[in-house]
Amino acid sequence: MSSSEQMKAVTIPEFGEAEVLRTDKVAIPEPGPGQVAIDVAYAGANFAEVLYRRGVVDVPLPFVPGIEVAGRIRAVGEGVEDLTVGQRVAALTIVDSGGYAEVAVTSADLVAPLDDLGLGLDVAAALPSNSTTAFLVLDRVARIEPGQSVLVHAAAGGVGSQLGQAARLLGAGRVVGTVGSEAKIETARNFGYDEVILRDRIAEAGEFDIIVDMVGGPARRASLDRLAPMGRLVVMGNASGADDVGVPANELWFTNKTVSGFNLAAFSAAFPEEAGRALRRAVAAAAKGTLRVQVETLPLERAVEAHRRIEAGATTGKLVLQVATL
Ligand X SMILES: NC(=O)c1ccc[n+]([C@@H]2O[C@H](COP(=O)([O-])OP(=O)(O)OC[C@H]3O[C@@H](n4cnc5c(N)ncnc54)[C@H](OP(=O)(O)O)[C@@H]3O)[C@@H](O)[C@H]2O)c1
**Contact residues for ligand X, defined by CB under 6 A:** 46-48, 129-130, 133, 154, 156-160, 179-181, 184, 214-215, 236-241, 262-264, 310-311, 313, 315
For residue 204, CA distances in Å to 199, 207, 270 come to: 10, 9, 39
Closest CA to 295 of 321, 314, 325: 321
Residue 10 CB, nearest approach to ligand X (Å): 17
User: Residue 212: what are its φ and ψ, rounded to 5°?
Assistant: -110, 120
DSSP secondary structure of 264-305:
HHHHHHH-HHHHHHHHHHHHHHHHHTSS---EEEEEGGGHHH
Residue 54 CB, nearest approach to ligand X (Å): 11
In terms of CB distance, is 76 or 142 closer to ligand X?
Answer: 142
In terms of CB distance, is 110 or 179 closer to ligand X?
Answer: 179
Residue 262 CB, nearest approach to ligand X (Å): 5
In terms of CB distance, is 88 or 132 closer to ligand X?
Answer: 132
Residue 184 CB, nearest approach to ligand X (Å): 5
Residue 314 CB, nearest approach to ligand X (Å): 7
Task: Say which residues have a Cβ less than 8 Å from residue 208's Cβ, sequence separation at least 6.
Answer: 149, 150, 151, 174, 176, 226, 227, 228, 231
In terms of CB distance, is 119 or 163 closer to ligand X?
Answer: 163
User: Residue 150: what are its φ and ψ, rounded to 5°?
Assistant: -135, 135
In terms of CB distance, is 94 or 119 closer to ligand X?
Answer: 94
DSSP category for residue 77: -
